[in-house]
Structure 1
Amino acid sequence: MAPRQKITKEMILEATFRLTREHGFEQVNARSLAAELGCSTQPIFSRFEHMDALKKAFHAYAGRYFDRYAAQAMQGGDAFRKLGEAYITFARQESNLFRLLFMSEVMDLHGFEHMYDDRENLEVAENLSREMHISLESAKRFYMKMFIFTHGIAAMVASGFVQLEPGEAEALLSEAQTAFTAQHTE
């Protein structure tokens, strides 16, 4: 008799990743995960109390994947611009993961001022303040405007609302960055 495979949290998260990537997180449930893992639903619920706990853990797991993706894309050149380009490219290449990470209620952002409760966003604003020689408050407004603009393009791409030609998103980001910079450096 072959030994039974022990299903770990990591295995469940990896299976969730594969299913989300291919079908979207809305198609992930205990049964689809069990089928993907070749087990019953019992190991899933022995590792995660309920599906909301899995969703929260998976959001963090997928977030780390995006962080690695973005870090790699930001190598060399204007890191801020490259981050925006990576965000849109991720929306195009990984639309199901993008929708989970950046277009779902998991974000739970209550107004744009709470963007800076996140340490990473505050660091970006602080870096922009130094690089652009503007106040931190002005850098926060600049970053917020760029984020809204970039997210709008990415959301349209991820949802299939728009198909962009190669270089089109980058050109739009460049124009927006120039316009928003002019607003904050006068």
Structure 2
Amino acid sequence: MPKQKITKQIILDSAFKLLRFSGHEAVNARSVAKSTGCSVQPIYSYYENMSELMQELFAYTQQFLSQYIEKNASQECYFESIGKCHIRFAKDEKYLFRFLYLSEYMNAASFEDIIRQCTRDDVTESIMNTLNLSAEESKKIYLNMILYTHGIASMIATGAADIPNEDIHRLTDEAFRAFLDQSRKEA
């Protein structure tokens, strides 16, 4: 029987599986090779180093998150459901959440970096259309809610808190109303 050819996609899938179930600290050349059923040679034939693999794994994980959001977000109240998806993702996929948002691979040195990496244009548009706000007001509310929900999600993903869903819904609704009221007072 001919030996299976190890492809770049097989290596990436193996690295993703390790990341998803064991965390990014468990992803190294030897663990990926073992999971793939090969030596480290195929890994280094596709990737110059592990840093390159981890960067591609980060982009791959971002795609997974986008698919997760598309599957779980409600179109009825899109903006609200995005924040709740973020928190649910932290509960459902704690290692992926940590990799995307709590590791050095996020590489955010400013709020602009956070906005660039964490916001979605369709959400800003939804806020503008639903609440009849300017683009600037919508971005401000969106950033405030990202930071607020990210705090809750981070506590959940790291095991610091196990907040019941009904409390999460109440707290995020209250925070949103407070941010919206503040935005309207400033307008």
> TM-score, structure 1 length as denominator?
0.92
Partner residue in 1 for 2:183: 184
Instruction: State the SS of the aligned residue for 2:11.
Output: helix
Contact 1:20-1:97 within 8 A present in 2 as well: yes
Deviation at 1:162, TM superposition (A): 0.3
Deviation at 1:151, TM superposition (A): 0.3
Of stretches 156-165 and 170-179 in structure 1, the one that deviates more from structure 2 is 170-179
Instruction: Give 2:155's aligned amino acid.
Output: M
Whether 1:85 and 2:109 are equivalent positions in the alignment is: no
Deviation at 1:115, TM superposition (A): 4.2
Deviation at 1:184, TM superposition (A): 1.3
Gaps of 5+ in 1: none
Deviation at 1:116, TM superposition (A): 4.5
Whether 1:65 and 2:68 are equivalent positions in the alignment is: no
Deviation at 1:129, TM superposition (A): 2.5
Contact 1:70-1:86 within 8 A present in 2 as well: yes
Partner residue in 2 for 1:26: 25
Instruction: State the SS of the aligned residue for 1:185.
Output: helix
Whether 1:159 and 2:158 are equivalent positions in the alignment is: yes
Deviation at 1:52, TM superposition (A): 0.7
Deviation at 1:177, TM superposition (A): 0.9
Partner residue in 1 for 2:107: 108
Deviation at 1:47, TM superposition (A): 1.2
Gaps of 5+ in 2: none
Of stretches 173-182 and 130-139 in structure 1, the one that deviates more from structure 2 is 130-139
Task: Work out the CA distance in 2 between the residues paired with 1:91 and 1:117.
Answer: 20
Partner residue in 2 for 1:95: 94
> TM-score, structure 2 length as denominator?
0.91
Task: Work out the CA distance in 1 between the residues paired with 2:165 and 2:123.
Answer: 27
Runs of 4+ in 1 over 6 A off after TM superposition: none
Partner residue in 2 for 1:150: 149
Instruction: State the SS of the aligned residue for 1:98.
Output: helix
Instruction: State the SS of the aligned residue for 2:3.
Output: coil
Instruction: State the SS of the aligned residue for 2:98.
Output: helix
Partner residue in 2 for 1:47: 46
Q: 1:119 to 1:168 in 2, by over 3 A?
A: closer
Instruction: State the SS of the aligned residue for 2:165.
Output: coil
Task: Work out the CA distance in 1 between the residues paired with 2:29 and 2:56.
Answer: 15
Instruction: State the SS of the aligned residue for 1:97.
Output: helix
Instruction: State the SS of the aligned residue for 1:176.
Output: helix
